[in-house]
C-alpha cells in the first residue's frame, strides 16, 4: 500500500471513529451501547421514545448532513481553486453564497418569518433560486470572458451587489424578520430532518461523483489554459461545466444549511498538504474525506455540552477558527507550496 492509499484509509477510519462520538455528544448523554441499541431498534432503556427521538430524528440526520455538506463544499472549493488557478477562490468568493442569502432575504421580506414547514420550504426554494440565478449570470459571463482572473473578479463583484441588496432589504424589514435572517446566516447542520435527508444526500453525492471524470482535465488546467488546449481540453466547456457543478453543490448546501464559510476555502489546501500532490485523481477523494471530517468535527463541537452549555454554537463561529490559520499558512508559504 502506497502513501496516498494509507492516508486515504486513515482519513476514512477517522471518519468512522468520529461518527459514533457525534451520536453520543449533546445536551443529554447517551452511552455508545444505548446508541447502538436505538439504531438497531432494540432499545428498552430509561429514555425510551425520547432517546430514540434524540438519536434518530436529531443527531443522526445532523451528523449525516454535516458529513455530506462538508464534502460538497470542499469539492466545490477544489474545483474553483483549480479553475481559476487561485488559492483564494471558493464558493463564498464567487458570490454564490451571497446569491443564496439574497434569495432567503427576499423570502423573509415577503413572509416575515422562516418558521414552520412552509417557512422552511420557502427558505430552501429562495436560497436555491438565488444561488442558481447567480451561477447562471457567472456562466453567462464565462461564455464571453476567457480570462479566469477576470471571471473571478466578476464573481466577487456580483457577491458585493448581492450583499448590498441584502443590506437594503434588512434595513426595510421588521426586527423579527432581521432576527430570522441573522439566525439562518449563522449556519447550522441541524436543519435537514429525516424527511429531507434522502433528497439532500442524493443531490450532494450525485454532484460530487460527477466531478470524478474531470480529474484529468483539472490536472491539465493546473499548467495553464494554453497547455490544456494543446492536450485537447475544451477549456471553455470544461470550465463552465465545473463551475456549474461547483455552484450547484454550493447552492444545495447553502439552501439547507445556510452560508457555511471557510470549508470550501481551507479544506482543499489541507488535502493538498496531506497528500503532497496536485493530482486530482488523488485530491478529489482526499478533499471529499477531509471536508466530511471538518463538517463532522464542526457539528460535534457545536453541540458539545462543555462548550455550548446546552445550546448549539453556530457553525460559522467554528469554521473560521479552523480555516483562518490554514489560509494564513498557505499565503505565508505560497512559494514553498507548489500546487499553483
Position 247 scores a pLDDT of 83
Position 95 scores a pLDDT of 80
CB 189 within 8 A of CB 25: no
Q: What string of DSSP letters covers 14-37?
A: HHHHHHHHHHH-SSS---HHHHHH
Total Cβ atoms within 10 A of residue 151? 21
Position 144 scores a pLDDT of 80
DSSP tag of 310: T
Percent pLDDT > 70 in the chain is 92
Position 50 scores a pLDDT of 74
Low-confidence ranges of the chain (pLDDT < 70): 1, 43-48, 111-120, 306-310, 337-340
Give the closest residue to 259 by CA, choosing from 314, 193, 209, 206: 314
Position 309 scores a pLDDT of 65
CA angle, residues 71, 76, 78, in degrees to nearest 5 = 95
Position 121 scores a pLDDT of 73
Query: How far out from the chain centre does Cα 161 lie?
Result: 22
CB 141 within 8 A of CB 154: yes
Give the closest residue to 224 by CA, choosing from 75, 76, 331, 86: 86
Amino acid at each position: 500500500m502506497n502513501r496516498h492509499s494509507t492516508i486515504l484509509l486513515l482519513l476514512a477510519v477517522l471518519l468512522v471513529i468520529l461518527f459514533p462520538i457525534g451520536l453520543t455528544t449533546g445536551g443529554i448523554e447517551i452511552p455508545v451501547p444505548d446508541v447502538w441499541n436505538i439504531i438497531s431498534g432494540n432499545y428498552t432503556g430509561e429514555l425510551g421514545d425520547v432517546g430514540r427521538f434524540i438519536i434518530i430524528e436529531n443527531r443522526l440526520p445532523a451528523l449525516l448532513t454535516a458529513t455530506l455538506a462538508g464534502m460538497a463544499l470542499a469539492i466545490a472549493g477544489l474545483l474553483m481553486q483549480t479553475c481559476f488557478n487561485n488559492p483564494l477562490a471558493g464558493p463564498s468568493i464567487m458570490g454564490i453564497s451571497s446569491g443564496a442569502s439574497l434569495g432567503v432575504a427576499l423570502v423573509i421580506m415577503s413572509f416575515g418569518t422562516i418558521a414552520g414547514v412552509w417557512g422552511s420550504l420557502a427558505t430552501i426554494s429562495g436560497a436555491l433560486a438565488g444561488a442558481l440565478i447567480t451561477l447562471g449570470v457567472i456562466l453567462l459571463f464565462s461564455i464571453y470572458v476567457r480570462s479566469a482572473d477576470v471571471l473571478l473578479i466578476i464573481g466577487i463583484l456580483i457577491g458585493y451587489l448581492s450583499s448590498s441588496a441584502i443590506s437594503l432589504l434588512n434595513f426595510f424589514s421588521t426586527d423579527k424578520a432581521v432576527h430570522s435572517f441573522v439566525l439562518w446566516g449563522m449556519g447550522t447542520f441541524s436543519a435537514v430532518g429525516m424527511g429531507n435527508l434522502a433528497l439532500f444526500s442524493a443531490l450532494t453525492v450525485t454532484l460530487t461523483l460527477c466531478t470524478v471524470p474531470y480529474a484529468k482535465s483539472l490536472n491539465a488546467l493546473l499548467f495553464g489554459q494554453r497547455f490544456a488546449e494543446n492536450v485537447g481540453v475544451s477549456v471553455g466547456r470544461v470550465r463552465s461545466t465545473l463551475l456549474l457543478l461547483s455552484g450547484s453543490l454550493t447552492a444545495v448546501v447553502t439552501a439547507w444549511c445556510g452560508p457555511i464559510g471557510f470549508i470550501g476555502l481551507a479544506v482543499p489546501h489541507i488535502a493538498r498538504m496531506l497528500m503532497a500532490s496536485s493530482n486530482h485523481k488523488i485530491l478529489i477523494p482526499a478533499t471529499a474525506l477531509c471536508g466530511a471530517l471538518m463538517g463532522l468535527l464542526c457539528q460535534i463541537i457545536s453541540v458539545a455540552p462543555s462548550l455550548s452549555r446546552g445550546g448549539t454554537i453556530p457553525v460559522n463561529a467554528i469554521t473560521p477558527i479552523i480555516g483562518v490559520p490554514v489560509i494564513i499558512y498557505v499565503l505565508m508559504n505560497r512559494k514553498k507550496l507548489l500546487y499553483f
